[in-house]
Amino acid sequence: MTPTSEVTLPETELSQASRRFPSVVLAERIVFALLLLLFVIRALIPAWSRLGPDFTNYYLVARLYRGGYPVERVYEWTWFQRQKDHAGIDRPLVGFAPLTLTSSLLVLPVSSMSPLQANRVWIVFSLGVLLLSTGLLKRVTDLPWRSIGVITFLAVAPLHSNVLLGQVHVVMLLLLAMAAWLYFTDRHFLSGFVIATAAALKVYPALFLLFFLLKRQWRAVVGLLCGMAGAILASVWLFGIDACRIYLREILPWGLRGEIVDPYAIGWDSLNSFLRRLFIFEPELNPAPVAHLPHLYAFLHPIALAVIVVSFLWAITLKTLGRSRQKLEWASFCFLLLLLSSEPLPYHFVVLILVAALVVDYLNDEGQLKWARSIVILYALACIPYDRFYRVNPRGWFSLLAFPRLYSMLLIAGVLLSILVSNERELLRNRLRSRSFAYAAIACVALSAAGIALNIRHLRGQFDNYRTRVATNVGSAIAIDPIVTADSVLYGALAPTFTSAHDAYVVHQVRNNSMISCGGAGDWFHPAATMDGHTTLVEVAARHHSRIVQFEPSGCVQNNPPPTAEVSDGQQPVLSMDGRSLAYIREIRGRGSLFVSAVHPQDESNAERQLAGPQYDVREAAFSPEGEIMFSSWQDHNYHLYAAVPRSDVAAEVVDVKCSARYPAFSPDGVWLAFSCDRGGVWQLVTMNRRTWEQRQLTASDCNSITPAWTPDSKSLIYATDCGRALGITALSKLTVAR
């Protein structure tokens, strides 16, 4: 077959049966019509009139990129939420981790439109992509249009959620279907190149490199590698080396481990979340597992993945020839990638449309109609919208009832493996005695051992902070930016949960084991207070800008509105220890300038003064007891700490800090400086004695410890940590600093 030839397939037994039994044709047409009507009523019409929450994430990143903002910050939860508020986008919550920056380019052409208008254009585009995908399925299979239509719209939960949320996975379906068509027509280089394009949007197709290597399709390997190299160069050119480096070092590892958003959530359909839900305790996100046995998770998870991966790869690489077999192998590998995903949601399973079509077509060609019906039934079960049947927060063994989609996927995996290894010309027992099976067994043991070692290393020390949590609020998502007064702790929080329709950032005050929440009229960020608690400030982010207001936590019980703004355009307030001076940040296209003013200026001499311009790109600031201001600055691919005196025009870098450092905090006695250091892509707490300049690292787990605040006695730190949780999904803990 030449590279430009078409795939010509014989008439299948199913087609012959359709002519013999017109009722089969009629039934398929009725089912297709009903599924299409359900899609229009339950997905298309509702999506047209509201802004998709996931589309908002892509749209906002594209809009920030078009506006010249520093896109390396889009993975910071609170900064990204603030930009959403300033843009006036009517969604309660946004977040971009762990998505790739290149995925936002898909909506860049519509980012100049209003959000709802852009969302509608995206819906029309998605429908066009879906139509093209079905056309490709027709080219690579011998299925009639009605069968392709039924298979496509049987993906009820994947397709509906993709449209309702504004996701991009229909594009993944198109790219993988196009790569399959190119592969089946011997255009292997182009097939690999298209796979690389898909991997630039969503990382998992990059694993097709393993498929091509095992099948010894060297042109496809070269095409994929060339495409990946081009995607990396394009990303660096478009987004800058800093954004790409941050993604690779600080975001991608967490995504691969399935530690994004909430790794214990029952909505994820993965082995990772299933085993975490059963065997890892987390006070707020998973308070009632079967038992807290993290080492059991560390063993079971890599062993299960290794068995699944090696079984599929061994079955795929069996020496069975034929075009029809190629379709089965391609479908099986696509399915394997979905099954391996660490945190898949229903819309990820749009790619199952390709898998189901190819497998059913193969089984029809082989005359195995019963197996084809079984695959269709299991595929339909995997695509049911199960979310309505979940308990809100199942406890203990009841969590087993919360993963029906995962069970359906495992059943499909068993059927696919049976189909892959079935061959009348060679007995299965002979295959089990073959050299290839011995190699597969060795690979399984090696992968399991490596995975167990990595898991144990990663989990070491992750749960030590549980014993010293400052506040435990079941279902709480984010707690950050603590400030300690003489009798309370204030901090920013995302409440109540990620799944609520009313998510918003608020301020919590913990005093005498009781909690008060303050919020409203926008997102509340970064509280500030004097040591005696008499003055309390907060940033309220709303349309176009943030303002700094003074509030009384006790008044929040009566839901009093925020008082008049202290600063009409400012964010991240910081009060001096004597309560007289206020420092804050004002952004120009996302790059911060540092200002200082008196809390209650009486004359012009106490008016605001700029200490550092946008060239410093100021991120955080802190006052020393002597009135000096220290701030973190993003420059030259790293974070630096600078010191400045409010009435001086010169800011001096703190050269003794020998790391990329953020989040400075002075102890009330003036002896200690605390900050966070970048250690291999994670942030660790460090203290420095201001008299001896001795530095000491306080944390060492494979997770982030940030935003420290000193207690009044200068002996302990309260800080935000995502240990045992997920990237940036922090809780507050307390750490005693040894003298």
Bridge partners of 548, per DSSP, are 539, 567
Instruction: Output the pLDDT for position 524.
Output: 93
Instruction: Output the pLDDT for position 120.
Output: 96
Q: What are phi and psi of 121, to 5 degrees?
A: -60, -40
Instruction: Output the pLDDT for position 648.
Output: 67
Q: In whole angstroms, what is the distance from residue 99 CA to residue 547 CA?
A: 30
Q: In whole angstroms, what is the distance from residue 560 CA to residue 552 CA?
A: 9
- In this prediction, residue 475 has a pLDDT band, given cuts at 50, 70 and 90, of confident
Residue-wise pLDDT for 238-287, tens only, equals 999 999 999 999 999 999 999 988 899 888 889 999 999 999 999 999 99
Instruction: Output the pLDDT for position 10.
Output: 43
DSSP conformational letter for 525: E
Residue range(s) occupied by CATH 2.120.10.30 in the chain: 464-736
Report whether pLDDT(500) > 50.
no
Report whether pLDDT(3) > 60.
no
Task: Spell out the residues 6+ positions from residue 106 whose beta carbon is closer than 8 angstroms to its own.
Answer: 58, 168, 171, 201
Residue recorded with tokens 């079941």: 474
Identify the architecture of domain 464-736 in CATH: 6 Propeller (2.120)
pTM for the model stands at: 0.92
Instruction: Output the pLDDT for position 604.
Output: 52
Task: Spell out the residues 6+ positions from residue 76 whose beta carbon is closer than 8 angstroms to its own.
Answer: 728
Residue recorded with tokens 């099948």: 215
Residue-wise pLDDT for 613-663, tens only, equals 899 999 999 999 988 999 999 988 899 999 887 776 666 777 678 899 999
The average confidence (pLDDT) of the chain is: 89
DSSP conformational letter for 261: S
The percent of residues above 70 in pLDDT, for the chain, comes to: 91
Residue-wise pLDDT for 156-181, tens only, equals 999 999 999 999 999 999 999 999 99
Pairing of strands 682-689, 672-679: antiparallel
Contact 583, 629 (CB under 8 A): yes
Report whether pLDDT(521) > 90.
no
Greatest Cα-to-Cα distance within the chain, rounded to the nearest angstrom:
95
Contact 630, 666 (CB under 8 A): yes
Instruction: Output the pLDDT for position 498.
Output: 43
Residue recorded with tokens 């590892």: 253
Residue recorded with tokens 């009507």: 37
> Which amino acid, 664?
P
Residue-wise pLDDT for 73-116, tens only, equals 999 999 999 999 999 998 888 999 889 999 999 999 999 999 99
Average pLDDT over residues 322-341: 92
Instruction: Output the pLDDT for position 519.
Output: 82
Report whether pLDDT(8) > 70.
no
Tokens of 329: 């192998």
